Amino acid sequence: MTDPVAPPPLAEPMSREWNYHPDLPLADSSVFRWPPEPRFLAHWFARNWLMLSERMLMVGLAVLCWWLLYPPLESAQGFAVGWIAQVWAINLGLMVVVAGGLHWYFHTRKGQGKTLKFDRREMAKGNRLWDFADQVHDNMFWSLTSGVAQLTAFQVLVMWAMANGYAPTITLASNPVWFVAALVLLPIWSAFHFYWVHRLLHVPFLYRHVHSLHHRNVNVGPWSGFSMHPVEHLLYLSSLLIHLIMASHPVHLIFHVIYLGPGAAMTHTGYEDLLIRDKRRLALGTFYHQLHHRYYECNYGNQEMPWDRWFGTFHDGSEESTRETRARKKRMHARG
Ligand SMILES: [Zn+2]
Ligand SMILES: [Zn+2]
């Protein structure tokens, strides 16, 4: 590949740029890989839905929160302060517990040291790039103000629509097959939505004024995931509007809320897996998105979706991909 603006070959081999990286190049793990391979799909399904996984934890948490914490749909027929404040307080609490808990374990207590940590660096302090001159405080600020407020606003809007019959609803008894299918499909929908919103955010004008706030995090931690500019929160969380047309149970809505909010903390821990007694027990981050934070104009989606591969923006972790990505970035920003 000869590109006139391509920088010279990298001085550093890939392995010296990272504290840890998985086997490279990254394999194609899209669920839409063609031709379909039943064994690969069965493995994907089992890994996400039959073992301890982020998704199972989030579904469990959604059921518990619906049952014990969130106000019932009947109370959502009008926009009253009481139930809306309750939803906001629960969302704030969930964010603090999940992102704060992961931050405490990995970065304060250093529960597994640097094992499986992608970046060598610690969270930044004393740098004016960050509000409050502190990366973690800056990330907490954006997550807990605009993030939690907008997460709550979208949830409140959908709950109100469900309570008044403006959005289609189901019960487990009325449609058990769809109840389960929707849980499997929601992350796939959300990944599709995220890819396109994310590409839009990388248009140079929006990148400069909006998305660069999230991208100051090259070395990410749990609080980085949901740390976004308010305009990015608005676009990113609009994924929840699917419930206005898709028949849902409140558990689906809550799962989706947890997936987008606290879930973003789980995908940005900076570590690949949680180790329990030296065994990988829970996948908590992907090198795929870590590469996006390091090289910007690649891997806009996630591993489950084929878009990056189809549109030529897939970075497989190789030096060749890094060169291509840097050239693409130069071209995009020269035009912008
Ligand atoms: Zn990110
Ligand atoms: Zn980005």
pLDDT digits 0-9 by tens, 281-333: 888 878 889 999 999 999 999 888 888 999 899 999 999 999 999 999 999 88
What is residue 336's predicted lDDT score, i.e. its pLDDT? Answer: 56
What is residue 286's predicted lDDT score, i.e. its pLDDT? Answer: 84
293 CA → ligand 1 middle, Å: 6
Prior bond of 35 cis (ω within 30°): yes
Residue type for position 329: K
335 CA → ligand 2 middle, Å: 18
Nearest in space to 274 (alpha carbons), one of 84, 53, 74: 53
Give one DSSP letter per residue of 4-39, joined into a string. Answer: TTPPPPPSS-HHHH-S---SSSPP---TT-SS--HH
Average pLDDT, the chain: 91
CB 253 within 8 A of CB 182: no
Please give the structure tokens belonging to residue 119. 């970046």
Cα–Cα distance, 158 to 38 (Å, whole number): 36
39 CA → ligand 1 middle, Å: 30
CB 155 within 8 A of CB 240: yes
Helices (H), 202-318: 204-206, 212-215, 230-237, 250-260, 262-267, 287-295, 307-310
Threshold 0.85, pTM exceeds: yes
Ligand approaching nearest to the C-alpha of 222: 1
What is residue 2's predicted lDDT score, i.e. its pLDDT? Answer: 40
Q: In sequence order, what are the beta bridge partners of 268? A: 285
Pick from 126-135, 138-147, 282-291: least confident: 282-291
pLDDT bin (cut points 50, 70, 90) of residue 85 is: very high
What is residue 285's predicted lDDT score, i.e. its pLDDT? Answer: 79
267 CA → ligand 1 middle, Å: 8
Beta 268-276 vs 279-285: how paired, if at all? Answer: antiparallel
Give one DSSP letter per residue of 188-224, joined into a string. Answer: HHHHHHHHHHHHHHTSHHHIIIIIHHHHT-SS--GGG
78 CA → ligand 2 middle, Å: 37
296 CA → ligand 2 middle, Å: 6
81 CA → ligand 2 middle, Å: 35
320 CA → ligand 1 middle, Å: 23
* Phi, psi (degrees; rounded to nearest 5) at 261: -90, -90
232 CA → ligand 2 middle, Å: 10
